[in-house]
């Protein structure tokens, strides 16, 4: 590993603070926990702005598809009035990919 790489990595927290104008250290809760809600309340967006950003990046509105054969089977095997409608969330039809993209879209 080059010395210059190690020097940059040693300054990564300082670089992040200067480039983002945010100090993530204040939101750390021990070694494993992070106060995401606290960070978003301080640096977050209004709900309308979140919707606008996520619509522009195709996050959300993942289609639900009814699985008709499973719905029919569930209703046939269940007591009267207890059958379920079986739906699948079709992540493959979501251009942004994954449910985790909701948070990533606001990064």
What's the rounded Cα separation, in Å, for the pair 34 and 73? Answer: 44
Structural domain of 59: 54-107
Average pLDDT, rounded, for the chain: 84
| pLDDT tens digits, one per residue of 80-95 | 988 889 999 888 877 6
Q: Assign residue 31 a region (left: φ > 0; alpha: ψ between -120 and 50; beta: otherwise).
A: alpha
Is the pLDDT at 20 greater than 90? The verdict is: no
Q: How sure is the predictor about 76, in pLDDT bands with cuts at 50, 70 and 90?
A: very high
DSSP designation for 107: -
Same domain? For 39 and 3 the reply is yes
**Number of domains comprising the chain:** 2
Same domain? For 59 and 27 the reply is no
Residue 79 domain flag = yes
Mean pLDDT calculated for residue range 47-70? 87
Same domain? For 39 and 61 the reply is no
Is the pLDDT at 78 greater than 90? The verdict is: yes
Res 69: pLDDT: 97
Return phi, psi of residue 29, to 5°.
-125, 85
Same domain? For 66 and 107 the reply is yes
Mean pLDDT calculated for residue range 8-32? 86
What contacts 64, CB < 8 A, 6 or more positions away? Answer: 87, 88, 89, 90
What's the rounded Cα separation, in Å, for the pair 45 and 55? Answer: 14
- Grouping H, G, I as helix, E, B as strand and the rest as coil, residue 105 is coil
Same domain? For 62 and 98 the reply is yes
Mean pLDDT calculated for residue range 12-38? 86
């Amino acid at each position: 590993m080059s010395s210059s790489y190690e020097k940059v990595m040693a300054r990564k927290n300082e670089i992040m603070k200067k480039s983002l104008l945010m100090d993530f250290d204040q939101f750390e809760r021990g070694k494993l926990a992070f106060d995401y809600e606290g960070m978003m309340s301080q640096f977050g967006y209004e709900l309308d702005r979140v919707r606008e950003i996520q619509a522009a990046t195709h996050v959300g509105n993942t289609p639900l598809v009814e699985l008709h054969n499973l719905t029919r089977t569930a209703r046939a095997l269940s007591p009267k009035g207890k059958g379920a409608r079986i739906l699948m969330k079709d992540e493959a039809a979501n251009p942004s990919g994954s449910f985790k993209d909701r948070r990533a879209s606001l990064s």
